[in-house]
Amino acid sequence: MAIPEAAPAGPGSGRGSGGGGPAKLNPADEKQLNRHPVSLRRIAALFAPHKGAIAVVVLLITASSVIGLAQPFLVRAVIDDALPHGNTRLLLFLTASMVGVAALTAAIGVIQTWMATSMGQRVMHTLRVNLFTHLQAQSLGFFTRTRGGEVQSRLTHDVSGMQSVVTSTATGVASNLTTAVATAVAMAALSPGLSLISLVVLPPAIWLSRRVAMIRRDVTDERQRELAALHTQVEEGLSVSGVRLAKTLGTIPRDADRFRARSETLVGLELRSQLAGRWRMATMQIVFAAIPAVIYLAAGFPATSGGMTIGTLVAFTGLQAGIFRPVMGLLNIGVQWVTALAFFSRIFEYLDLEPQIRPAAHPVRLDPAAVRGDVRFQDVHFTYDDGTEVLHGIDLTLPAGTTTAVVGPTGSGKSTLASLLPRLNDTSTGRVSIDGVDVRDLAPEDLSRIVGVVSQESYLIHASIRENLLLADPDASDDQLWSALAAAQMADTVGALPDGLDTLVGARGHRFSGGEQQRLAIARTVLRNPPVLVLDEATSALDNTTEAQVQLALERLSAGRTTLTIAHRLSTVENADQVVVLDAGRIVEAGTPDELRAANGAFARLAAHTAQQEDNAA
């Protein structure tokens, strides 16, 4: 399944209603829903465990909205009854009731917010964990064809954005609906005539407000795109690799000019956003001022006042002023709902990805400590998603405790072959087995303890040396850590550091050289102590001196283990028990290094070609 690129998300892309202005539907949301429709039943299933909490929240919102409407009637009683008649007792009761109503609605609001947020967070927690776990089950192919920022956006921004939209939309519907209906009923009860006048003036006010919001939304969309580009430049340009690239290529002045231009563009967009539709806003302010003016005017004529008291007039204008916000909120519900569905669609789109590598339903348990390490590739074929077949009928046996080196030209399928043993990829047909057990039948946690991998690109997390090593064995003691470092030829280097094991390795391990990073990765594998080892061109990116140090560490690591070595430099295969030559995904030659040289075949030609390249480089 192809994964689409993420659409920029943010306040300007239709995610939520904003600060009270009407929202504009984002075309990207409609496109997402058309591409991956969302079942309402599936959404309801997420909230099903929280039905009781939802019911309580709706009741609290309704109660808060209804109780809050008591305030204008209390004000009317104060003005019409308590003050004119000097009724102190009634005045005290009414003012105390006003404070009590405010306190009660505030308390209900706190409880309602806590319950709604708690419910939303639990739902998002479940989605977040399910999505993270599901993505980890995907094959390497998924991550090579999908941008890392896209995956992170779905897992963080989309889930967080969905939580805020869903919570605000759900509570907003109940709150705005009850408030608008109750307010309209109260207005009609106070004065049916003035209520009709308010309804006549309300539509143009709503129309003008929506027009202004749409203009600002268009400008804000453009501003969000520029912000996304600015953030991308910051992320790329201020990373370790980005700074190194800028310094070595001399692009610092150009990068600064590009950043300055984008920042200036943002200044202009912000001014346009603030000034957009100012004349419409001015017109709307006049309309808002005209509404109470018309009401006061109507109340002054006997024909339209209906004998209205001052208190009723004040209460009515208070209700009328408060009906605009919930009505606008209800008008935004459709856009907010589409936005929420778009968030669900993007998350469900990833959750619906079928993992190419599935754990066995009934795994065969294999004790890593008891594994001999007999590895077999039997009639193995591998085809990528685009139909390109990389491996063709591979039959290969790795006897326990031996080292097998796989060599061949670039693109011959060496690394693909190595990826099948730890199940980074699965065979299209055929099987890979350890001690007679298909690796697809092993529990993932068992396989990871049986097969250790040291690749060309060693990955170290931005933490201490100790934390990086403990990834392999969380219960390892300091003595075991130092022993592993010694086996990897790194104990002296780490021991000379002021903080020793607590030294931070830096982003992606840049605190250390490439060879030191490799040896730390080897030490981590030593701690894992796997009976089967895959070395995927672990020294190909190193200079000759560093390669010799790392190669010594690898030889110590390989001792007594079944080792599959993917070799780039033929100098690393001299001590292999057998050498396999791959060409175009097929085994064209196999034997000991001496046998293959004597055969004067593919291996001999490859060795001669490599020697010539090294001479030319020298």
Which CATH number does the domain housing residue 154 bear?
1.20.1560.10
What distance in Å separates the CA atoms of residue 292 and residue 297, rounded to the nearest whole number? 8
Angle, CA 500 vertex, CA 498 and CA 506 arms, to 5° = 90
pLDDT value for 305 = 55
> Is the domain of 526 the same as that of 476?
yes
371 and 435 in contact (C-beta within 8 Å)?
yes
CA 73 to CA 481: how far, in whole Å?
75
Q: Are 137 and 265 within one domain?
A: no
Are residues 435 and 399 in contact, defined by beta-carbon separation less than 8 angstroms?
no
Q: Domain for residue 318, yes or no?
A: no
User: Is 16 in contact with 164 (CB distance < 8 Å)?
Assistant: yes
Which residues constitute the domain of residue 32?
10-191+333-354
Asked, for residue 313, whether it belongs to a domain, the answer is: no
- Looking at the fold, whether 393 and 256 belong to one and the same domain comes out as no
Assess if residue 326 is contained within a domain.
no
As a whole number of angstroms, the distance between CA 550 and CA 560 comes to: 18
Contacts of 534 (CB under 8 A, 6+ apart): 418, 421, 422, 451, 452, 453, 454, 563, 564, 566
Residues 170 and 229 grouped into a single domain: no
pTM of the model: 0.65
For CA atoms 129, 132, 135, 140, the dihedral sign is negative
Q: The domain spanning residue 556 has which CATH number?
A: 3.40.50.300
160 and 303 belong to one structural domain? no
541 and 492, same structural domain? yes
Output the six-digit token pair for 385: 């998603």
Return the pLDDT at 96: 94
Q: Is 323 inside any structural domain?
A: no
Q: Measure the CA–CA gap between 16 and 29, rounded to whole angstroms.
A: 12
Q: Is 405 domain-assigned?
A: yes
Q: Same domain for 123 and 247?
A: no
Sign of CA dihedral 30, 36, 38, 43: negative
Q: What is the pLDDT of residue 7?
A: 38
Residue 128 near residue 159 (C-beta atoms within 8 A): yes
Q: 441: which 2 tokens?
A: 């039948």
By C-alpha distance, which of 63, 67, 87 is closest to 77? Answer: 87
pLDDT of residue 429: 92
Provide CB contacts within 8 A for 504, sequence distance 6+: 462, 463, 464, 511
Residues 106, 243, single domain; the answer is no
How many domains does the chain contain in total?
3
Based on the fold, state whether residues 208 and 143 are members of the same structural domain: no
297 part of a folded domain: yes
If asked whether residues 292 and 181 sit together in one domain, one would say no
Query: Within a domain: residue 359?
Result: no
Render 473-521 in DSSP notation, one character per residue: -TT--HHHHHHHHHHTT-HHHHHTSTTGGG-B--GGGTTS-HHHHHHHH
Largest Cα separation within the chain, whole Å, is: 120
Note whether 412 and 471 are same-domain residues: yes
- Note the pLDDT of residue 164: 66
The verdict on 512 and 605 lying in the same domain is yes
pLDDT value, residue 247: 72
SS3 of residue 586 by DSSP: strand
The ranges of the chain with pLDDT < 50 are: 1-23
Tokens in use for 254? 């150009």
Is 368 domain-assigned?
no
The CA-to-CA distance between both ends of the chain, in Å, stands at: 47
